[in-house]
Chains A and B, each alone.
Chain A
Amino acid sequence: MAAALALPATYGPRIARAVARAPRIPVIWLEGQDCAGNTEAFLRASHPTVGDLVLEILSVDYHETLMAAAGAAAERSRIETMDRFPNGYIAVVEGSIPIADGGIYCVVGGRTFREIAIEVCSGALAVIAVGSCAFDGGLPAAIGGTTGAVGIGQLVHGPPIINLPGCPMNVQNLTATIVHYLTFGVWPALDGRGRPLFAYGQLIHDQCERRAHFEHGEFVQTWGDEGHRKGWCLYKMGCKGPATFANCPTVRFNDRTSWPVKVGHGCIGCTMPGFWDQMSPFYRHLPAPPPFPTDVTVDDIGIGLVGIVGGLAAAHAVGSYVRRRRLDRAAAATAASSEPPATAPAEPEPDSDAVGGNGGGR
């Protein structure tokens, strides 16, 4: 846990004491236009375990997927907690909130989810948006969606809102956020979009275990090729790690077992705003390799990041890119393989609007 919080190891005992001493904070976990992927992620919590979370640390008073009560009795649990702990419970929001057409695209117990979400979140100690749908509308808000899906931060103003985007979120970032509050009495520092800096403060590319291959111009060119077997860089297969802020490479998933790039598939940028549109097509590589110095923060980039990558390119980054491309060509020229070096097979050359604008194809 201390590592997830980027705290010195000596904080370990202090955190353990805080967890043991803390009252069980009531939690109302709301599900709107969701797939329950973040609920499933919650079930995978290992530090602390989900069992300890629900029995010893939190009091998860309302959670439709997990709670024993049903129907009106379930609703009573939600209302009792709101009455008993005004401004004293955490509202966790999973899924987007559809606001088009009077909110009829998500109705719970005969009431619109929009109405319930505003009611619950407005009286919360804090709101934690788990996953990308609760962050900015996510998939239901992608191009083609017609339900007026928004994230909770676009609907509720007042209580602190902590956004944990990702599809789904990494549950270690949720547990670390909660334990941070229990330990220090304050929520972790956030960036301009409400994301904890400890989790979203660094580019995936800068933490990536395949980074050395990027530096050496060693790229996977097609699925299953020699580079793929040797764990080379997935940039040319569309990896969005160079444009994505998250701690996946260091925290990994499922008790730190793995993460997609480790297995061999590129990052799809799922922690970034509007990623279903901004980062797709997912197998088209980024228009330019990472131009950012390592101290860039997500606030320096913001929405539409991949579209403006070229504009942000610092001189030294461009220089190093050119040098890498030379290395790449030289390596390819001397290799036994005669595959075209600069681009993935049959993909067009990178250009500035290849990723960001969806190419007008929709």
Chain B
Amino acid sequence: MTRVVIDPITRIEGHLRIEVEVEGGRVTEAWSSGTMYRGLERILQGRDPRDAWLIAQRACGVCTTVHALASVRAVERALGIHIPPNARLVRNLIAASQFVHDHVVHFYHLHALDWVDLVAALQADPGRTAALAETVSDAPLGGRSYFADVRGRLQALVDSGQLGLFANAYWGHPAYALPPEANLLAVAHYLAALDWQRSVVRIQALLGGKNPHPQSYCVGGMAMGLDPNSPTALTTRRLSEIRQLAEQAIDFVERIYLPDVLFLAEAYRSWFSVGRGVGNFLVYGDFPEDDSDDPAAFYLPRGRLVGGDLARVAPVDQLDVGETVAHSWYRYHDDDAVLRHPFEGETEPTYSGPQPPYERIETPKYSWLKAPRYRGEPMEVGPLARLLVGYAAGHEDIRREVEAVRDRLRLPHEALVSTFGRVVARAVETKLLARRLLVWLDALAANLASGDLAVADVSAWDPRTWPAEAKGWGLEEAPRGALGHWIVIRDQKIANYQLVVPSTWNGSPRDAAGRRGPWEEALVGTPLADPRQPLEILRTLHAFDPCMACAVHVHDPAGGSGIEVRVA
């Protein structure tokens, strides 16, 4: 038995350590450890609830904007505020553009190099690469000279002796399966995506002033002027700029990203039988299509799949969410093993791991992440969960796209529950949401044309109108999965604030019953050709798109000094 430690796990957001045991060329045990803690929930306490979104947004700069949205939703629910349609549509546009940007960046810049051997691309023939590219898609990027130029840049990088970001990786590893031309094609698109992402994210700058960390939300709606006849508001000129960017997004996703993913899927078919995970899926649902606040009107539907049954959608109630710290570096006042609902949660950071410097973590508690459970069950969240729930719920767009991909790859539905299934699910979802941008943009334009310029409900802006105590929660689908914020407002200030975020669900340590979290479970069984070069572990892990800055969290009893902090 061999113990393998990977720390730092790179090409993720934040600080993650993975330890696994390997026997007979496969992972037999895995431990996921978050190694950084900030304490945001504690910092939120005592502040003006209207400020919370600005602070909570800083939970993560990669998942930027998502915590802002969950936060304003939590406060709005607590105070009984209903945002106007324009604010709903602008929020949908910001959130969906985040999905599109984030998923593409994840694939090319955080994940692709697990499948693509960058150094092997130097052996590619540019002409043959151009011919290959023609068979992959009709992408408007290509030709022999284009690929020769990319190869030349790469060669110059290698010749300089300074490989920079690409130094010391597992190049030449036997698990890399692509021919040189396919590697060069993917490297070219890595660079193309680097340029594309700068451009498409300008949707958020137009609607939020900047990205990362857009700054145009407010409790009640959006802090932006809407008026097609004002030179300074969200004018028709800016709307048409957003439309142009959305069309560029659709073009890139459908002609480059999705075809690349499907091409890799063919080359790495065995990865549809690796990394199954816990077999439970949780989706809060999001992208409201009307102003009813009814999950039935969400574009991505709410629901839950349990025990590997991919056909039956179970309901979701936030009351069934709870967290244990049985194996986390926190202490509950009575019993670390119990599951506490976020309103009753406690967070007392109590480090009991090894004193650094250390080689291994062998203590019973081993992570700054708590272990969220739904009715006691570990749940996978994210793009795969959303597609599976949407498919089971009969969502028309999801069924069409999932079936098209399944037919093309000649795979049974169950094969999606796998490492490469997660990669494919993310790309399919990106296509759906990129297209949806245009629908919400048209709806916004139609609203403005009808004379509806309302952008915020300010009836509860004044704290003197608030009740002495109010509680609320804001549920959301973030790119990485189900996200919830819970807030208790007392005497116009935040008395308790808690985040339960996607990477805490997926990256959680064991619970009191010893059940592994989804990453840990998915890693078990992963093949490993060379324990000194654990490329395969990165594949299964990166397919989940870990994000640690969001995931660490802490909170105190609701009745007392409520606190909660997560870094995932």
Among B44, B223, B230, contact of A229 (Cβ-Cβ < 8 Å): B230
How many Å from the CB of B381 to the closest CB on chain A?
A: 20
Chain B residues closer than 8 Å to A60, beta-carbon distance:
164-165
Which of A49, A253, A282 interacts with B51 by CB under 8 Å?
A282
Q: A120-132: contact bitstring with B at CB < 8 Å (1 yes, 0 no)? A: 0000000000000
Are A33 and B38 within 8 A (Cβ)? Answer: yes
Q: Does A71 contact B (CB under 8 A)?
A: yes
Complex Cα spacing A237 to B168, Å: 51
Known: A37-B212, A223-B458, A362-B45. A263 touches B201 (CB 8 A): no
Name which of A113, A229, A282 has the most chain B CB atoms within 10 A of its CB.
A229
Chain B interface SS verdict (over half) = loop
A104 touches B454 (CB 8 A): no
When distances are taken between beta carbons in the complex, the residues of chain B under 8 Å from A50 are 194, 198
Give every chain B residue within 8 A of A33 (Cβ-Cβ): 36, 38
What per-residue 1/0 map shows which CB atoms of A273-293 lie under 8 Å from chain B? 000100011111000000000
Interface residues of B, CB < 8 Å — how many? 109
- Chain B residues near A224: list those with CB within 8 A: 221, 225-226, 453-456, 458
**A255, CB-defined interface residue at 8 Å:** yes
Whether A110 touches B47, Cβ cut-off 8 Å, given contacts A54-B164, A61-B162, A254-B211, is no
Instruction: Decide yes or no whether B113 CB sits under 8 A from chain A.
Output: yes
* Nearest CB of B to A117, in Å: 13
- In the complex, the answer to whether A144 meets B39 with C-beta atoms within 8 Å is yes
Min CB distance, B349 to chain A, in Å? 7
On whether the beta carbons of B43 and A144 are closer than 8 Å, the reply is yes
Asked if A1 is at the interface (CB within 8 A of a chain B CB), the reply is no
Q: Is A112 an interface residue (CB 8 A)?
A: yes
Q: Are B165 and A104 in contact (CB under 8 A)?
A: no
B61 contacts partner chain A, Cβ-Cβ < 8 Å? yes
Do the beta carbons of B349 and A146 come within 8 Å of each other?
Answer: yes
Q: How far is the CA of A59 from the CA of B386 in the complex (A)?
A: 39
- Name the A residues within 8 Å of B201 (CB-CB): 44, 254
CA distance A283 to B223 in the complex (A): 12
- Asked if B47 contacts A253 (CB within 8 A), the reply is no
Chain A stretch 66-98: residues in CB contact (< 8 A) with chain B: 66-71, 73-77, 80, 98
B194 touches A43 (CB 8 A): yes
Tell me the minimal C-beta distance from B469 to chain A in angstroms.
16
B520-560 vs A, Cβ < 8 Å mask (1 yes, 0 no): 00000000000000100010000000000100000000000
B534–A38 touching, CB < 8 Å = no
Of the residues B10, B220, B223, B453, contact of A265 by C-beta under 8 Å: B223
**Which residue from A39, A112, A144, A264 sits with its C-beta under 8 Å from B45?**
A144
Chain A residues within an 8 Å CB radius of B221? 223-224
Q: Report A220 CB to chain B, min CB distance, Å.
A: 9
B42 part of interface (Cβ distance < 8 Å): yes
Considering only residues 23-57 of chain B, those with a C-beta below 8 Å from chain A are: 35-40, 42-48, 50-51, 54-55
Q: Are A253 and B225 in contact (CB under 8 A)?
A: no
| A35 interface hit (Cβ, 8 Å) | yes
A282 to B43, CA, bound (A): 15
- Bound Cα distance A49, B191 (Å): 11
> Which B residue sits closest to A264, measured CB to CB?
B224
A43–B196 Cα distance when bound, in Å, is 11
Q: Known contacts being A64-B10, A67-B165, A110-B358, is A145 close to B216, with CB within 8 Å?
A: no
Interface digits, A127-159 against B, CB 8 Å rule (1 contact, 0 not)?
A: 000000000000110111111010000000000
Is B317 part of the binding interface, using a Cβ–Cβ cutoff of 8 Å?
A: no
Contacting residues of chain A (198-255) with chain B, CB-CB under 8 angstroms: 222-224, 228-231, 237, 252-255
A35 and B209 form a contact (CB under 8 A): no
Given A69-B167, A253-B210, A261-B209, answer yes or no on A36-B61 (Cβ-Cβ < 8 Å). yes
Q: Is the CB of A147 within 8 A of B15?
A: no
14 contacts between A and B (CB under 8 A): A51-B195, A55-B153, A60-B165, A65-B11, A71-B8, A106-B15, A139-B55, A139-B58, A144-B45, A146-B39, A147-B37, A147-B39, A265-B215, A281-B50
17 further contact pairs, Cβ within 8 A, besides A101-B351, A102-B356, A264-B216: A35-B59, A37-B60, A55-B157, A65-B12, A65-B13, A71-B8, A74-B168, A77-B167, A107-B35, A115-B357, A223-B455, A229-B227, A229-B453, A254-B198, A263-B209, A263-B216, A346-B463
Chain A to chain B: the 3 pairs with minimum beta-carbon distance, closest first: A37-B61, A231-B232, A346-B462
Query: Which residues of A approach B to under 8 Å, CB–CB?
Result: 24, 26, 31-41, 43-46, 49-51, 54-55, 58-61, 63-71, 73-77, 80, 98, 101-113, 115, 139-140, 142-147, 149, 167-168, 222-224, 228-231, 237, 252-255, 257-266, 268, 276, 280-284, 345-347, 361-362
